[in-house]
Amino acid sequence: MLDPITSLLCNFPLAYSLLLSSFTATLTYDTLRFGEFEDFPETSEPVWILGKEYNALTEKDDILSDVTSRLWFTYRKNFPPIGGTGPTSDTGWGCMLRCGQMILGEALMRRHLGRDWRWARGQKQREEYISILNAFIDKKDSYYSIHQIAQMGVGEGKPIGQWYGPNTVAQVLKKLAVFDTWSRLVVHVAMDNTVVIEEIKLLCMPWLDVAGACVESEGVGELNGCLEGACALTEEETPLWKPLVLLIPLRLGLSDINEAYIETLKQCFMLPQSLGVIGGKPNSAHYFIGFVGEELIYLDPHTTQPAVEPSEDGQVLDEMYHCQHPPCRMHICELDPSIAAGFFCRTEDEFDDWCMRIRRLSCNRGGLPMFELVDSQPSHMVSVDALNLTPDFSDSDRLERFFDSEDEEFEILSL
C-alpha cells in the first residue's frame, strides 16, 4: 500500500513536476561535479542498484562507484554522417537509442567482466572492457553504434533522426546482436506481456532442437554420416547455454503509470539478473538502474559530448563513458507507462532462478504482476514460426504489425 503522499503524487504527477522544477532545473550533468552528494537522500531506506543493496548512510562511496562503473552513453556530435549523408549528431532525437546502448552495454559487462567489476579513472583497463567500448563507438562498423541502430531502425519503420520508443529499440538490438560473434548473446524480446520458458530455452540451448531433429531422423532410417556430423556438435560450436538478454516491453497504464505496478517494478530492480529499465518521460528517455524510497535512480543521456575516436591500438578515452556525478533521481509516479525491462542470465541455472523469483513475486499481494510467466506457449498467442523470432532481416515488413514502433498496440495492464 502506498503512503498518502505518494498516492497523491501518482494521481497528480504534473503537480509534483512543477513543485520540483525550481529545484532540479539546474541539476544537470553539465553542472554537477563528482563527489557532490548533497542531493542524494540521507535516508535509512535501502538503495537498490541493479540487484545490489546499499545503505545510503554508510555506503555512499560504494553507491557512487557502482553508478560510475555503468556505461553512460549520451548524445554525441561530430561523428561520421549516418548512412554517409545523414546527421552527424543525435542531439534531440537519439536519447532512447542511447538508453538502448546502455542497457545492452550493461549486459555485455555482465557477460565479459561480471557484476562486481568496477571502473576507476586512469587505471589500466582489461582487453574485454576495451572491446566492449569499441562495440559502441560512433562509426558505421561498430556492432552497436548509433549508426547501426539508426539504420537498422529503418527496417522497423523509423526514419533516421526520428525518436524511438522502448519497444522499437529492443527489436533493433535483437537484430544487431546476431552479428556479435564475440559475445554470442541471445537477445529475446518477449511480446504480449508474456515470457514463455520453453521458447527461451530453445533459443538459448539450440542443441535441444538439433537433438530432436536427430531423433526424428533416426526413427525414419535417414540417419547418415552427414547428419551425424551435424548432430555431434562440440561445446565450442554450440555452448550448453547461450547467455540471455531478456527484454520485456510493457505498458503500465494509459497516460500515467498505474500505481498498482509500482511495488512490482521496484522489486524488479532487486533481482540479481536485473539490467534495469529503459523508458522515461514522453520523448525524453532515461536508463533506470535502481531506486531509493519512492524515487527511481537513472542515467540521463541528454548531454552532448564530442564523438570519440579510438587510438591506433584500439584504446578509447573512456572517462566520457562513465557518469562521474551523483545519480539523477525522479519520483516513480513521473515515469511514462511505456517501458522495457531487461534481465541477463548467463547460465541456465540463473534463468531458472529468475523464473523462481518472478513466480514468487507473482504471489506477492503487494503489487500487480507486470507480465505473465508461462511454461509453454499459450494457444491464444501467435506461434514462434509465424512471428519468425529467429533473425531474418528480410521479414521486417511482416513483423511491423507486431512490433509497432510507436508502442500503441501494447495490451493495457490494469486492475
For 112-131, the DSSP string reads HT-TT----TTPPPPHHHHH
Please give the Cα distance from 348 to 32 (Å, whole number): 42
Q: What pLDDT does residue 187 have? A: 98
69: three-class secondary structure by DSSP: helix
Residues 6 or more apart whose CB falls under 8 angstroms from that of 366 comprise 1, 263, 264
Angle of helix 197-204 relative to helix 348-362, nearest 10 degrees?
Answer: 170
pLDDT of residue 380: 65
pLDDT at 250: 97
Q: How many CA atoms lie within 13 A of 388 on its CB side?
A: 15
What is the spatial distance between Cα 377 and Cα 199, in angstroms, rounded to a whole number?
8
Per the structure block, which three cell numbers stand in for 317? Answer: 578515452
CA dist 305 and 321 (Å) reads 10
pLDDT recorded at residue 267: 95
Catalytic (active-site) positions: 95, 300, 302
Q: Which amino acid is at 284?
A: S
- pTM given for the model: 0.80
Q: What parts of the chain have a pLDDT lower than 50?
A: 5, 8-9, 13-38, 213-236, 383-415
How many whole angstroms from its chain centre is CA 79?
24
On the CB side of 360, CA atoms within 13 Å amount to 9
Q: Which pLDDT score, from 0 to 100, does residue 240 have?
A: 87
CA distances in angstroms from 356 to 115, 270, 373, listed in the order given: 21, 14, 10
Q: Are 340 and 277 in contact (CB under 8 A)?
A: yes
